[in-house]
Amino acid sequence: MTLNVLPVPVDRWRAACEDAAAQGARLRCLYAVEGERGPELRALLGLPDEERLLTASFAGAPVDSVLEVFPAVDWDEREAHDLYGIRFAGHEPLRALVEHPSQPDRWMTPVHGHGTHQVAVGPIHAGVIESGHFRFHVVGERILRLDLRLFYKHRGLQRAAEGRTLEDGIAYAQRACAACAVASSVAYAQAAEAVLGLAPNAALRRARTLLCELERLYNHLNDLSAICAGIGFAPGAMAFAALKERAQRLNARLSGHRFLFDTVTIAASPPQLDERAAHADRDEVRALRAAAAAGWRELLFAASVQDRLAGVGVLTADDAIALGAVGPVARAAGVRRDARAEGDPRLWYGALAPTQPVTASGDVAARAELRAVELEQTCEIIDDLLARPPERPDTRPAGRPQPIGIGRVESPRGETVCVIEASGRTLRRLHLRTGSYANWPVLAHVVPGNLLPDFPLINKSFELCYACADR
Amino acid sequence: MFVLLHRLQRLRRELDLPAPARAGSLALRHVDAGSCNGCEHELTATASPVYDLQRFGLNVVASPRHADVLLVTGAVTTRMAGPLLAAYEAMPEPRLVAALGDCALGCNVLADPGELAGPLDAILPVDLRIPGCPPTPAQIADTLTGALDLLTSHRSYTLRRGSESP
């Protein structure tokens, strides 16, 4: 896929976005950078036959918001405003996202009426959960509106990575989130290798694909456990937690780390798998697959479990498309969107088709089922890749070095996009938009109308990370 | 459901976890002060059937008001410093602070320094240190059960001394 960088005058910003949208573009990300003469704006748009990066210099006047063109851009524009001071005309009200102002009306939706009240949750939660604040506006138990206040964990990772070498920068992408470490690192590596004019050989593509699927395996098992925990169904939560532990031990045996840390490097081969260990672990993957399928069957036959999952937290396919939902959340709503199925020549997915639940009802039940179905597919890919004889992963020259590179990987939570701007081997700007970042606003959209006690369940069925949204 | 319970029972038989030869218990409250989510995953795993820390009387409790130990993960961000202090101040004495993971210990922290409130031990007195990126559930379990042993022996020691004094 070719990347075309297209500078546009600031007053043509919206028109350029509309042109792309008319050609069928999807928003991949919008972000700001600190240019030589003030902040600059970037928008990466995925068109049917090209990736287009619009760039605009910003002279202090407001830029036209593209919220109406791409509703998924809501958080991106608010983040660019909070971090770089860019004002977006037409994005009203432009509520604070990264900033935490004390005045309620600067970050919260005003909700008035008979019997309405607020329920504040977080940033510290009752269980072992990441930090973030939820403000529910409710009448009785019924949720009218949810305002998210995340970015409590904002560590400024993207800014901290600026000025590092391309090789060192990958640690910042990886550390954004442990549960998506491989997806973020591979996306970074793809972007960095595009900058250096390198492409992975077949062996490296297979090695990275294997790592991505190992990450999906333990995450999906974790998510099924979390969904059971969300309704207080301890036998299911514990059974899938035990399977997740087995998957993480498998990771440790194959890569030396339970979260597969430091397995992706730029333009260098990852640690090679031991052939005999890989062979033994194929049996373990098959056993895990059988145990997960058996566990899922039990959940299907537990009537009280099914009754809690069905019809809760419904996302329609139209809303999923409009809001730019990604990953299992989108697929469970019937949107067959999966970056793995796009035949990326930098990974090894072949003719993979996006999974779909039997009924893509977009509720918690569909999101749970989607993960159970996807686990089978993931185990199949892992088994296939482990069966191959040891290879020599490497990169080879492929074209001229570029100042900007992009990477795109389907993480367990959805499409992760990484954009790198570099001069030589020095990283000038890193932007990471993970599946969680894309899906948090979708969660806030899905929750109203549901009961407050169902929120933990809906939240678990999305199972988004706070860390990789906050960065 | 009975199949699940049966499987869990079998898993426990196969694991043959040692019985908790300990008295006492510790109530734990976790605060994520800016982690990458790795420590949270591993801390959650300590409650899984494979480790089952609850058999030692080590429970994660919902409120700092109920807690003996504050388990802190992550480098402390500027936005989490306030909530972290509020949680600590809500805890009854005696209380312990555990730094869980390398970031909380101030090792190899990746972040914009301007977004951090400082290392945890500059903000709170750190009593327990659990290194690792992230520490494995086994390492977390070892440190916490060790602390439990230390505290129970210390408690009986002070009780004995208390009875000897006039």
Range of the domain at A46: 3-89
Taking CB atoms and an 8 Å limit, are B35 and A171 in contact across chains? no
Phi-psi region of A100 (alpha: psi -120 to 50; beta: other; left: phi over 0): beta
pLDDT digits (tens, 9 = 90+) for B68-82: 999 999 999 999 999
| Per-residue model confidence (pLDDT) at position A234 | 92
Q: Report the greatest alpha carbon distance in chain B.
A: 61
pLDDT digits (tens, 9 = 90+) for A347-373: 888 878 888 888 889 999 999 999 999
CA nearest to A471, candidates A239, A158, A174: A158
Last residue of a domain, one of A61, A89, A117: A89
B142 at interface of A, judged by CB pairs closer than 8 A = no
| Per-residue model confidence (pLDDT) at position A276 | 66
Task: Indicate if the pLDDT at residue A261 is higher than 50.
Answer: yes
pLDDT digits (tens, 9 = 90+) for A49-88: 899 999 998 777 889 999 999 999 999 999 999 999 899 9
Taking CB atoms and an 8 Å limit, are A154 and B115 in contact across chains? yes
Task: Return residues 41-80 of B near A (CB < 8 Å).
Answer: 41-45, 47-50, 60, 62-63, 74-75, 77, 79-80
Task: Indicate if the pLDDT at residue A272 is higher than 80.
Answer: no
- Does a structural domain hold residue A463? no
What residues in B contact A151, CB-CB < 8 Å? 79
Query: What is the token pair recorded at A324?
Result: 């730019």
| Per-residue model confidence (pLDDT) at position A271 | 62
Q: A207 with A344, same domain?
A: yes
What residues in B contact A231, CB-CB < 8 Å? none
**For A197, phi and psi rounded to 5 degrees?**
75, 40
Chain centroid offset of residue A2 CA: 23
| Per-residue model confidence (pLDDT) at position B163 | 44
CATH number assigned to the domain comprising residue A12: 3.30.460.80
Contact A155, B110 (CB under 8 A): yes
Taking CB atoms and an 8 Å limit, are A175 and B136 in contact across chains? no
- The CA R_g of chain B, rounded to the nearest whole Å, is 18
Domains of chain B by start residue, with CATH: 21-151 (3.40.50.12280)
Last residue of a domain, one of A41, A72, A89: A89
Taking CB atoms and an 8 Å limit, are A155 and B45 in contact across chains? no
What residues in A contact B79, CB-CB < 8 Å? 100, 123, 151-154
Nearest-Cα distance to chain A for B29, in Å, is 8
DSSP A34: E
- Does a structural domain hold residue A303? yes
- Does a structural domain hold residue A103? no
Amino acid at B95: R
Q: A294 with A413, same domain?
A: yes
User: What is the C-alpha separation between A192 and A155, in angstroms, rounded?
Assistant: 22
CATH number assigned to the domain comprising residue A425: 1.10.645.10
- Does a structural domain hold residue A154? no
Contact A465, B32 (CB under 8 A): no
Q: A193 with A276, same domain?
A: yes
- Does a structural domain hold residue A153? no
B136 at interface of A, judged by CB pairs closer than 8 A = yes
Taking CB atoms and an 8 Å limit, are B44 and A157 in contact across chains? no
What is the rounded (10 degree) CA torsion for A174, A467, A100, A113?
150
| Per-residue model confidence (pLDDT) at position A449 | 95
Taking CB atoms and an 8 Å limit, are A157 and B34 in contact across chains? no
Q: In the predicted model, what is the mean pLDDT of chain A?
A: 91
Q: Domains in chain A: how many in total?
A: 2
How many other CB atoms are found less than 10 A from the CB of residue A252? 13
CA nearest to A324, candidates A461, A441, A412, A411: A441
Taking CB atoms and an 8 Å limit, are B111 and A156 in contact across chains? yes
Q: Report the greatest alpha carbon distance in chain A.
A: 68
What residues in A contact B114, CB-CB < 8 Å? 156
Taking CB atoms and an 8 Å limit, are A156 and B43 in contact across chains? no
Contact A422, A195 (CB under 8 A): yes
Structure ipTM:
0.92
User: What is the C-alpha separation between A330 and A303, in angstroms, rounded?
Assistant: 26
- Does a structural domain hold residue A199? yes
Q: A343 with A247, same domain?
A: yes
Nearest to A155 among B8, B43, B111 (CB): B111
Q: A174 with A82, same domain?
A: no
DSSP A325: -
pLDDT mean for each 10 residues of chain B (166 residues): 88 83 84 95 93 88 94 94 96 92 90 90 92 94 86 60 44
- Does a structural domain hold residue A291? yes
The reply to whether the predicted model has a pTM over 0.90 is yes
pLDDT digits (tens, 9 = 90+) for A14-51: 999 999 999 999 999 999 998 888 889 999 999 988 99
**Cβ-based neighbours of A243, under 8 Å, separated by 6 or more:** A221, A225, A288, A291, A292, A295
Nearest-Cα distance to chain A for B125, in Å, is 20
Last residue of a domain, one of A33, A67, A89: A89
Nearest-Cα distance to chain A for B161, in Å, is 38
Q: Which residue of A has its CA nearest to B7?
A: A239
| Per-residue model confidence (pLDDT) at position A61 | 81
- Does a structural domain hold residue A70? yes
Nearest to B114 among A156, A175, A178 (CB): A156
Beta bridge partners of A418: A407, A432
| Per-residue model confidence (pLDDT) at position B159 | 46
- The CA R_g of chain A, rounded to the nearest whole Å, is 22
pLDDT tier for residue A398 given thresholds of 50, 70 and 90: confident
pLDDT digits (tens, 9 = 90+) for A302-343: 999 999 999 999 999 999 999 999 999 999 999 988 888 887
What residues in A contact B101, CB-CB < 8 Å? none
What residues in B contact A465, CB-CB < 8 Å? 37
Q: A168 with A288, same domain?
A: yes
Taking CB atoms and an 8 Å limit, are A128 and B60 in contact across chains? yes
Chain centroid offset of residue B70 CA: 7
Count H helices, E strands: chain A? Answer: 15, 14
What residues in B contact A152, CB-CB < 8 Å? 34, 77, 79-80, 83
A–B CB contacts, 8 A cutoff, strictly below: 134
Nearest-Cα distance to chain A for B25, in Å, is 18
Q: Which residue of B has its CA nearest to A176?
A: B36
| Per-residue model confidence (pLDDT) at position B154 | 65
